[in-house]
Chain A
Amino acid sequence: MRKRVQRSHRLLSVIMTIVCVVYMYPIFMVLMNSLKVENAISTSTAFELPTAETFAGLANYENAVNTQGFFMSLFWTVLITVTSVLAILIFCSMFAWYITRVENKFTKALYLLCAFSMVVPFQMVMFTLSSTAHDLHLNTPWTLWIIYLGFGAGLAVFMFCGFMRSVPIDMEEAAMIDGCNPIQTYFYIVFPLLRPTMISVAVLEAMWIWNDYLLPTLILDVDKYKTISMLIQFFRGSYGRVEMGPMMACIMLAIIPIIIVYLFGQKHIIKGVVSGAVKG
């Protein structure tokens, strides 16, 4: 019996390994093509390995970095993601604490509105949101976090509220009796308890903001600021023949930082996804 189980496990391992290799193939294909010269990349030869004649070395990568401004896009994307996630973590957790601890009709309405905003599709507000952002001069990467704080508040508040309902109120009361004001109570008592939820929220919001395409495209000035997603779309949107080589290199450059972050923070990312799902 045990032997049979072992054998079936080994077979399963082999099958899973094959499936995983197939699963990773699309990324490998992009890597392969990003190393080819321009006229060797066509729809019928995308599966062929680069040969001596078609091997381009890192020329496509140089092109992507030097003439297409990849690093500038990387900078804007990092800036927008970091500022937005930090703002969401700090402000939304404070907001969530207030609306769970103060119970009245107003806070209940706010909670429901936040839950509602999670379901509403972006297309519903895209036109009016971008015109509001232009009117208030929020259309630079330095101020885009305000928009993300507003539009991303739903999920964060929802998750923070879910966690805070399970935290006993006693400790906070004790702190208040000992003379803490609400701000001290929040930052000394509640804030440290929130760490696991903070990580989950940060993971989910960062995954969304980093990869978001439509919101920054509609709000930012496309000629001045391009996030990574916008840059890759720009290859296609521009007139004339699409330069496939640099585009492949850009796709590869866009994937590499994600893979590095993923390999280091895998545990947190997977935990974040699971707890986000349980509370949703």
Chain B
Amino acid sequence: MQKAIKKYWPIFVLPTLAAFVIGFIIPFVEGVYLAFCQFTTVRDATLIGFNNFVRAISDNTFTHAFWYNCAFVVVTTIAINVGGLLVAVLLTKGIRATNAFRTVFFMPNLIGGIVLGYIWQILLNCVLSLLERPLLALDATAGFWGLVILMCWQQIGYMMIIYVAGLQSIPDTLVEAAEIDGATRWQTFWKVKLPMLMPSITICLFLTITNSFKLFDQNMALTGGQPAHQSELLAYNIYYTFYGRSGPQWRGIGQAKAVIFCLIVVAIALIQLRVTRKREVQQ
């Protein structure tokens, strides 16, 4: 059978492979190469070695964006997963109108990042002006927490859906056995349900961490890096280096930053998957 299928590779493989080469492989390889060049377009690149990387790391806005992004990832990952799990537990108790609640909580996910960013910009600015505090564009701390609130609003519903599915797949017999053995509800949750939820937790942690690291649209729409690059996440910092600055050196530096960013994201994804996979229980 393999031989028969193999002959048909131009029909099965070629369309996707061609698009994949155009849409991913060529840009990726070219991107890695350009990180070592000075360029303004792809054609006028001249190799300059590791200079771009050195300048990228010594760029203050980039290091600031890195630490700002790390803090953002930690806070949002904890808040979203705790929130999502809490809502999921409450919505699997069999209260009335569970479906309607679920519908509401999931809805913000379908709205795009740009739209979400502007909705929250208007809302948070109004709150801040009523509290007589500086607006989002003037206060990096407010910008940080605004972005955290926005991300929680958007993502809690998504993680809740995954946790609900996980909770529903735990066999009732396990919970009953724990109850008969005299476990309190609290113990049942920590010792029985939570270990059984590990696969869902793995995937939710993975999703929230990578989402928060790659966040761009919401960051651009909510604060646009204001004030003075103080609320920039990595993705927006790279974008700004490419398209917001003049001077022939910046594109190369931007590409070098992008390579560093890519390495960070890949490394974190791998570590995270390995750590949580280990803790999953066999069913």
Instruction: Point out residues on A near B: beta carbons under 8 Å.
Output: 9, 12-13, 16-17, 20, 23-24, 26-27, 29-30, 33, 43-47, 87, 91-92, 94-95, 97-99, 101-103, 110, 113-114, 116-117, 119-129, 131-133, 136, 138, 146-151, 153-154, 157, 169, 172-173, 176, 181-183, 186, 207, 210-214, 228-229, 232-233, 236, 244, 247-248, 251, 254-255, 258-259, 261-263, 266, 269-270, 273-274, 277-278, 280
- Give CA–CA (A166, B110) in the complex, Å: 30
Q: Whole-angstrom distance from the CB of B107 to the nearest CB of chain A? A: 6
The interface residues of chain B lying within 8 Å CB-to-CB of A136 are: 22
Q: Whole-angstrom distance from the CB of B246 to the nearest CB of chain A? A: 16
Interface stretch (choices B71-79, B112-120, B140-148): B112-120
Please state if B114 and A233 are interface contacts (CB–CB under 8 Å). yes
The interface residues of chain A lying within 8 Å CB-to-CB of B129 are: 43-44
Please state if B8 and A183 are interface contacts (CB–CB under 8 Å). yes
Q: Is B190 an interface residue, CB under 8 A from the partner?
A: no
B25 in complex: contacting residue of A113, A183, A261, CB < 8 Å: A113
Q: Whole-angstrom distance from the CB of A145 to the nearest CB of chain B? A: 9
A151 in complex: contacting residue of B13, B24, B96, CB < 8 Å: B24
List the B residue with the shortest CB-CB distance to A230. Answer: B114
Q: Tell me if A's interface is mostly helix, strand, loop or mixed.
A: helix
List the A residue with the shortest CB-CB distance to B105. Answer: A23
Shortest beta-carbon contacts, A-B, top 10: A150-B23, A211-B112, A150-B19, A46-B126, A125-B27, A95-B16, A98-B12, A128-B27, A149-B19, A129-B27
- Give CA–CA (A262, B111) in the complex, Å: 11
Please state if B165 and A274 are interface contacts (CB–CB under 8 Å). yes
- Give CA–CA (A270, B160) in the complex, Å: 11
List the B residue with the shortest CB-CB distance to A214. Answer: B216
Size class of the contact patch on chain B: 35 or more
A270 in complex: contacting residue of B28, B97, B106, B126, CB < 8 Å: B106
Interface stretch (choices B55-63, B176-184, B203-211, B275-283): B203-211
The interface residues of chain B lying within 8 Å CB-to-CB of A157 are: 16
The interface residues of chain A lying within 8 Å CB-to-CB of B192 are: none
- Give CA–CA (A157, B206) in the complex, Å: 19
List the A residue with the shortest CB-CB distance to B128. Answer: A43
In the complex, besides A150-B21, A183-B11, 5 extra interface pairs with C-beta distance below 8 angstroms are A13-B97, A30-B119, A44-B126, A44-B130, A270-B161
Question: Binary interface profile of B, 146-161, with partner A (CB < 8 Å = 1, else 0)?
Answer: 0000000100001001
Please state if A132 and B22 are interface contacts (CB–CB under 8 Å). yes
Q: Is B139 an interface residue, CB under 8 A from the partner?
A: no
Given contacts A46-B122, A95-B16, contact A128 B4 (CB under 8 A): no
Q: Whole-angstrom distance from the CB of B37 to the nearest CB of chain A? A: 11
Q: Is B261 an interface residue, CB under 8 A from the partner?
A: yes
Q: Is B253 an interface residue, CB under 8 A from the partner?
A: no
Question: Binary interface profile of B, 74-107, with partner A (CB < 8 Å = 1, else 0)?
Answer: 0000000000000000110111110011111111
Please state if A128 and B114 are interface contacts (CB–CB under 8 Å). no
Q: Is B186 an interface residue, CB under 8 A from the partner?
A: no
Given contacts A125-B31, A129-B27, contact A182 B19 (CB under 8 A): no
The interface residues of chain B lying within 8 Å CB-to-CB of A266 are: 103
Q: Is B194 an interface residue, CB under 8 A from the partner?
A: no
Given contacts A95-B12, A273-B162, contact A125 B1 (CB under 8 A): no
The interface residues of chain B lying within 8 Å CB-to-CB of A101 are: 1-2, 5
The interface residues of chain B lying within 8 Å CB-to-CB of A94 are: 11-13, 15-16
Given contacts A125-B31, A251-B118, A266-B103, contact A150 B1 (CB under 8 A): no
Question: Binary interface profile of B, 165-188, with partner A (CB < 8 Å = 1, else 0)?
Answer: 100000000000000000000000
Given contacts A16-B90, A181-B4, A274-B162, contact A95 B110 (CB under 8 A): no
The interface residues of chain A lying within 8 Å CB-to-CB of B234 are: 123
Given contacts A121-B262, A207-B109, A277-B207, contact A255 B20 (CB under 8 A): no
Given contacts A123-B239, A125-B28, contact A232 B261 (CB under 8 A): no
- Give CA–CA (A207, B216) in the complex, Å: 16
Q: Is B197 an interface residue, CB under 8 A from the partner?
A: no
- Give CA–CA (A129, B115) in the complex, Å: 25
The interface residues of chain A lying within 8 Å CB-to-CB of B126 are: 43-47
